[in-house]
Amino acid sequence: MPGIITETPRDLGFLLSEGSRTLSRETVVIASGAGKLNAGTVLGKITASGKYIPSPAAQVAGKEGAETAVAVLGYEVDATSADVQTVVIANDAEVKRPMLVFDASVNDATKQTAKLTQLRAVNIKAR
């Protein structure tokens, strides 16, 4: 009997539309220790290092700035033990709300709405 296969979100599968060419995309670094992240993960930028992590609901010591959602991860990555360079959707895009992945601390509708509002500030609209 074959084993059960769990499929992770497809790379860029959350994307409805984006600015022409590469207008909406940026290359960034996901901070070591962030773990295995799926495409569609809502990210924040650590002010001190300029690296990205899943955007937490509240400020975390040593990771100030990341509590504000500013991008959506385009491709699945594993940043468990090393920094990873990857592509994110950083502006001028529409995304599929049900396909977004939030940090574990963003655990209710109010916190998720706050993250979507933060993304809207950088012209990423969830539908």
Helix (H, G, I), strand (E, B) or coil at 22: coil
CA dist., res. 71 & res. 54, Å (int): 10
Token pair recorded at residue 37: 């992240």
CA dist., res. 27 & res. 34, Å (int): 17
Please write the tens of the pLDDT for every residue from 74-109.
999 999 999 999 999 999 999 999 999 999 999 999
> 58 near 106, Cβ under 8 Å?
no
Please write the tens of the pLDDT for every residue from 40-62.
999 999 999 999 999 999 998 99
pTM comes to 0.93
Give the class (CATH, top level) of 15-126.
mainly beta
